Amino acid sequence: MRLDPATGWCHGVRHCPSVNFNERPAGEISLLVIHNISLPPGQFGTGKVQEFFQNRLDVTEHPYFAGIADLRVSAHFLIERDGAVTQFVSCLDRAWHAGVSSFEGRDTCNDFSLGIELEGTDELPFTEAQYRSLNALTEQLQAVYSAITTQRICGHSDIAPGRKTDPGPAFDWARYRAALEKGEGQ
């Protein structure tokens, strides 16, 4: 995969454009937020996350969907269990992934962050393929957006404590950070 700085789109990944985005107020990109998602919860490979981020989710297919029917959300990227990467929003635009949030005293993290969703749950370990893709994608993002240092990579739970718990205790932060330091995503 290769990130095109001029367009904010990655080549070599699936593109599944979402309408749930808008312009960044200042154009700054200095934070990376890691999330997890599965739809229905705990089920993988359903394609429902893609439908949800594109406002195409059939809310009659599962009881859980009725509770999220009115939400308009997106992330820049989704990494599925097999490591496949899908991009929904250009990195140059503001995806709607963080919600009410604050990082180092600065509110509204969507204004200056990129969001990566990992297909998973708080409790289930993420896959080898997901960590490989996450490392490679993170290195691409850091190469283009130098303000995203390792210290400026966090979980959704870090910027929305008490409201969000993802990526959860199953996410191996030490492994992820060590791989980034070694450049293992190349």
What does residue 104 show for φ and ψ, rounded to 5 degrees?
50, 45
Distance between CA atoms of residues 32 and 158, nearest Å: 11
Residue 184 has a pLDDT of 62
Does the structure show a pLDDT above 80 at 42? yes
Distance between CA atoms of residues 149 and 9, nearest Å: 20
**pLDDT tens-digit map of 136-183:** 999 999 999 999 999 999 999 999 999 999 999 999 999 999 999 887
Q: What's the CATH fold of domain 1-182?
A: Lysozyme-like (3.40.80)
Query: 185: pLDDT confidence band, cut at 50, 70 and 90?
Result: low
Give yes or no: 117 in active site. Answer: yes
- List 28, 51, 104, 117, catalytic entry: 117
Does the structure show a pLDDT above 80 at 109? yes
**pLDDT tens-digit map of 78-91:** 999 999 999 999 99
Residue 183 has a pLDDT of 76
Task: Strands of the chain (E only): list them.
Answer: 2-4, 9-11, 14-15, 21-23, 31-37, 77-79, 85-87, 93-95, 102-103, 106-107, 113-119, 153-155
pTM: 0.96
- Ordered by start, the domain boundaries in the chain are 1-182
Three-class DSSP category at 145:
coil
Percentage of residues in the chain with pLDDT exceeding 90? Answer: 95
C-beta of residue 131 within 8 angstroms of C-beta of residue 146: no
